[in-house]
Structure 1
Amino acid sequence: MKLLLSILFIALCLSIAKASVPDVSNSYLGAGDPGVSHFPSYLGLKMHIRCYANVTTANQNGPIALFDAGLPFFSTAWVSIIPSVLQNMPAWNISKACFMDRYGYGWSDVSPIPVITQDYVMRLHGSLAVAGLTGKYILVGWSWGSIFVQTFSLTYPKEVVGILTVDGTDSKWGLIPSNQQAVLVYTDVMRGYINMNNMGTLEPLARSGLVYSYYGWLPNELVSSGYTPCSLNASQEVLLDTTNKFLKTALQEYNIMVISSALLNFTYAIKGPNPLKDLPYVNVYSSYDTDPEWTTRQTFMASLSSNSLAVQFTTGHFFVFHNPTAIVSGLTALTNKIATNPAQQWGQGNGFFYN
């Protein structure tokens, strides 16, 4: 009987995920998912933003937490933490938690040209306004998403009350020759996947476990890590879409990694020490024997603000898969910092190069 119910549940998830595009209203946590999908159109492109509201009445004016995933992932990458986020919203004093699909990923429109992070931040800000998701923000970025977190904070300082980076990409990343070489490798792999998808051979490769997670594939085994069959199926369908929307978007993003991080690094160089001033900041990161400089660069990231906390784990890069509890604990630490030691100097400027 239990096996039959499991089969029926998976079948329901599969049908919901396929039927819900572009609505996706039930494809994250399964039937009864309380989230709401927004599709604001700004400057000719629609963006998908998936939001979950605080169910209490006490925190309706609290900040909105915005989550941006690593490359090449999108909003479904965060499914493992959504139940904990829903549970902790009242204690964290946040009004909503929203998970974004950058252009071309998930259920957002494809951009005809690569969108560097600085332009994406401006477009995201406009999209949030169109969707009515305005107010103060807590920004959460995993991996490449941390470049967004830092750039958004510098661009709209009056609207950001705290940031959390999760094994985040630092501003020096694009200046390192080995990373520039890695971009070329990733690009070649994605071009190969596009050719395979056109021939119909990518799907069997992916389902046999030979397309790895760092290329955006969420395997069924992640159901043991808090992902629902619905979210896994939706993520897989997006990657395997026969228009190659996902794969081409990944190519676009690989092409803007160096310039986006270099521009951010240039901005920090102009601003000098503590460019984020006293903005509450928690940096959760892992250690890597293969890249001893990673810890040094993560320590540098923590020095961006005089009001920061850095916590190291041995989880590896995929916190969302292997240690979602660390992300939740990071959010708890950040919201405690916002409540007890909010910024006094941060947020007094008007824009990207404010002093």
Structure 2
Amino acid sequence: MFKLSTCLLLFICFFAIVTSQQTLPDVSTSFLGAGDPGVSHYPSYLGLKMHIRCYSNVTSANQKGPIALFDAGLPFFSTAWVSIIPSVLQKMPSWNISKACFIDRYGYGWSDSAPYPITTQDYVLRLRGSLQVAGLTGKYILVGWSWGSIFTQVFSLTYPKEVSGIMTIDGTDSKWGFISANQQSIITYTNTYMNYMSMNNMGTLQSYANDGNVALGFGYFPNGTVALGFTPNSVSSSQQIWLSNKFLKTAVQEFNIMVISSAVLNFTYAVKGPNPLKDLPYVNIYETIFDQDWIDRQLFMASLSTNSVAIPFGTDHFFPFTNQGAIISGLTALTNKIKTNPARIWGRGIF
């Protein structure tokens, strides 16, 4: 666990950096390009605007179906899902969902920056308020990749009556923050992003990234991402947003709330006892190239609900980039589970 002095030092450092002014790319063409049918919402809640990009089911039969909410891994944002949007648009009628919405957490994409690091628990409260302001209310199907899976779990526990089902994609579990190697990784990643901000201020970061020196895990879309199912517009806009101190500072903020957010979630699960997600329909897809501990923790996540299935894939962690088909098949499995075996205990206040 971090020493308090280290956290305070990191907190002070990134606030001392003056962020550069930036004109954001046009969101209307930053996903699928010209003619993109998506609609962007910018609800303001508790003083901050959040960007939510939504695509509607074009059939009249499913207008009252659940809304699927997608939250990306750290440090990615809504454009990380571009590769699956065409398939989602095609499958929405059979999935019986009314909308598919892709979220920018604060400071990412087209959302406002937060003045201080926001824990997942606070973010979930703000997200729900933002959804209500935007009129995106009803039942939700929550989809989280990597760190985004923490959102699916916390939201479900906080507002169970509003959640029809969840899917985690190689997700972060509640025990993540207790692992010393992960705590060390946060320090390493934080130092790297601080260095990126220094390079950005000197005007050298763009050429450094374009030369292939930034790994995908740091959130930068290399030019070859187009071959992975992303549109040229989505790649260029993601690169432009990444090359800003706003984005880089946000990544530092998020790394500094990972331990506390996962620890609070772990405590919540401990209080609720076995199967804290009751019979909530839950699909967990995960990769098997990590060590056995990772696989065991993925299986533990699936055990949180009695109405779950864990599906392994021999792929890497970056499912939206390298295995989009697994995400679509997982969503098909989840929506079938919701249709044929919906929750009967979950969401009724029986805890």
Q: TM-score range by the shorter chain?
A: over 0.9
CA distance in 2, matches of 1:38, 1:298: 33
Identity of aligned residues (%): 71
- Residue in 2 that maps onto 1:328: 328
1:33-69 superposed Cα distances (whole Å, 9 cap, x missing partner): 0000000000000000000000000000000000000
**Does structure 2 conserve the Cα–Cα contact (< 8 Å) formed by 1:23 and 1:37?**
no
CA distance in 1, matches of 2:318, 2:341: 30
1:198 matches 2:240: no
CA apart distance, 1:102 = 0.1
- Residue in 2 that maps onto 1:272: 273
Q: Give the residue type in structure 1 aligned to 2:296.
A: T
CA distance in 2, matches of 1:133, 1:256: 27
Alignment RMSD: 1.2
Q: Secondary structure at the match of 1:25?
A: helix
1:257 matches 2:258: yes
- Residue in 2 that maps onto 1:8: none
- Residue in 1 that maps onto 2:214: 211
**Does structure 2 conserve the Cα–Cα contact (< 8 Å) formed by 1:66 and 1:100?**
yes
**Does structure 2 conserve the Cα–Cα contact (< 8 Å) formed by 1:20 and 1:27?**
no
CA apart distance, 1:152 = 0.3
CA apart distance, 1:276 = 0.2
- Residue in 2 that maps onto 1:113: 116
- Residue in 2 that maps onto 1:311: 311
**Farther off after superposition, 22-31 or 220-229:** 22-31
1:231-259 superposed Cα distances (whole Å, 9 cap, x missing partner): 00000000112xx0000000000000000
CA apart distance, 1:288 = 2.8
Q: Give the residue type in structure 1 aligned to 2:140.
A: Y
- Residue in 1 that maps onto 2:39: 36
How many residue pairs were aligned? 330
**Does structure 1 conserve the Cα–Cα contact (< 8 Å) formed by 2:289 and 2:315?**
no
1:170 matches 2:158: no
4+ long deviations beyond 3 Å: 19-23
Q: Give the residue type in structure 1 aligned to 2:266.
A: N
Q: Give the residue type in structure 1 aligned to 2:299.
A: T
- Residue in 2 that maps onto 1:16: none
Query: Structure 2 length normalisation: TM-score?
Result: 0.93
Q: Return the match for 1:122 from 112, 120, 125.
A: 125
**After the TM superposition, which residues 153-164 of structure 1 pair with which residues of structure 2 at under 5 Å, given as runs?**
153-164=156-167
CA distance in 2, matches of 1:20, 1:140: 30
1:55 matches 2:58: yes
**Does structure 2 conserve the Cα–Cα contact (< 8 Å) formed by 1:64 and 1:97?**
yes
Q: Give the residue type in structure 1 aligned to 2:285.
A: V
CA apart distance, 1:287 = 1.3
- Residue in 1 that maps onto 2:10: none
**Does structure 2 conserve the Cα–Cα contact (< 8 Å) formed by 1:103 and 1:109?**
yes
CA distance in 1, matches of 2:183, 2:118: 18
Q: Flag structure 2 segments of 5+ consecutive residues without an equivalent.
A: 1-21
1:287-331 superposed Cα distances (whole Å, 9 cap, x missing partner): 134x32000000000000000010001111000000000000000
Q: Give the residue type in structure 2 aligned to 1:272.
A: G
- Residue in 2 that maps onto 1:134: 137
CA distance in 2, matches of 1:83, 1:68: 17
CA apart distance, 1:23 = 5.4
**After the TM superposition, which residues 66-81 of structure 1 pair with which residues of structure 2 at under 5 Å, given as runs?**
66-81=69-84
CA apart distance, 1:21 = 3.8
CA distance in 1, matches of 2:51, 2:57: 20
* Shift in alpha-carbon separation, 1:38–1:95, aligned structure 2, 3 A: same
CA apart distance, 1:20 = 8.9
CA distance in 2, matches of 1:209, 1:84: 29
- Residue in 2 that maps onto 1:348: 348
CA distance in 2, matches of 1:314, 1:199: 41
Q: Give the residue type in structure 1 aligned to 2:58.
A: V
1:82-112 superposed Cα distances (whole Å, 9 cap, x missing partner): 0000000000000000000000000000000
CA distance in 2, matches of 1:240, 1:79: 19
**Does structure 2 conserve the Cα–Cα contact (< 8 Å) formed by 1:288 and 1:294?**
no
- Residue in 2 that maps onto 1:5: none
**Does structure 1 conserve the Cα–Cα contact (< 8 Å) formed by 2:150 and 2:172?**
yes
CA apart distance, 1:219 = 1.0
1:202-254 superposed Cα distances (whole Å, 9 cap, x missing partner): 1001001101111110111111111000000000000112xx00000000000
Q: Flag structure 1 segments of 5+ consecutive residues without an equivalent.
A: 1-18
Q: Secondary structure at the match of 2:60?
A: coil
**Does structure 2 conserve the Cα–Cα contact (< 8 Å) formed by 1:47 and 1:127?**
yes
CA distance in 1, matches of 2:249, 2:24: 19
CA distance in 2, matches of 1:43, 1:138: 24
CA distance in 1, matches of 2:215, 2:55: 29
**Does structure 1 conserve the Cα–Cα contact (< 8 Å) formed by 2:24 and 2:241?**
no
- Residue in 2 that maps onto 1:287: 288
CA distance in 2, matches of 1:176, 1:32: 46
